[in-house]
Amino acid sequence: MTDQGIEALGLRQSPEGGALIIDGKLVSQSVLADVAEKAAVLTARGMRPGLAVVLVGEDPASQVYVKSKGKAAESCGFHSIQHTLPVETPQADLVALVEALNRDPAIHGILVQLPLPRHIDATKVLETISPAKDVDGFHPVNAGLLAIGDIERALVPCTPAGSMILLQRAAKALKIDLAGRDAVVVGRSNIVGKPMAQLLLAQNCTVTLAHSRTHDLPAVVGRAEILVAAVGRPEMVLGEWVRPGALVIDVGINRVPGTGLDAQGRPKTRLVGDVAFAEAAKRAAAITPVPGGVGPMTIAMLMSNTLSAATRIAG
């Protein structure tokens, strides 16, 4: 494929050569543009997609993330509302708000920002969300639909859904068929690892779900033609573990010490993934960077899920 064709898929050649870099920013922009176009059609037919985000407390990272979600929803032409509740909000009040949003015909997607304060049972709250409006894909009904392979009816968690799009773009650029490939997912969380394994199975990959207690993890990773790292440990997967020619999706976002001081005199930090990028990029065929890889796709897929939910509710 020509360089122009590769760039059109959201990939670029690394300046140092080696792996193609899978640019999540570019791919997310194309996803958001497609969502906005389809949302405009739905709105013209009398149903404007609606997203409600609920934030409890004043966690700075959550505030930034919720703000980004609101901006993305508005850019897609959605009806977007945010409920910001004090940290001491009783669980019963939060549940009552979610139940009211379930009944609101103008709202098609409900997202309760995690983490919640310690006095609130997050599982109880997430299970209160109507499965049809569960745009995070965390409700047991959606998890069950994904587990049985009914992806058409499931709302898939945003990060693995976005990771799969990036993987498919890379496979297309490299003219690789995913079916039958040996895929290894490192990390078994309900939010990323397990649903990612289900999505890979749906692509007819042969999937191994590895984790912190896997025996001889380097050997397991080393046989992966497709590697998804989602364990939450900075640069745990060493470059020398990566199989030459592998497709590598690095879901991890870890903040580690940097060099020097910032404008306020505090030690600088930097973001790294779960994969030692510089060395892995010398061996992989394609790899996502951190930042700028999977991260931008998460919000894009939230918008896509909201559109899907509105479309299904509209019939």
Positions marked active-site: 69, 113, 136
With tokens 């779960």, the residue in question is 274
Structure tokens at 183: 């895929």
Beta strand residue intervals within the chain, DSSP E: 11-13, 20-22, 50-56, 79-85, 109-112, 182-186, 206-210, 226-229, 247-250, 254-261, 267-272, 286-287
For 149, the token pair is: 């392979």
Strand locations in 71-153, DSSP E? 79-85, 109-112
Sheet of 50-56, strands arranged across: 79-85, 50-56, 109-112
In sequence order, what are the residues at sequence separation of 6 or more whose Cβ sits closer than 8 angstroms to the Cβ of residue 292? 23, 24, 25
Sorted by sequence, the CB contacts under 8 Å of residue 16 that are 6+ apart come out as 281, 282
For residues 187 and 191, what is the distance between their CA atoms, to the nearest angstrom?
A: 10
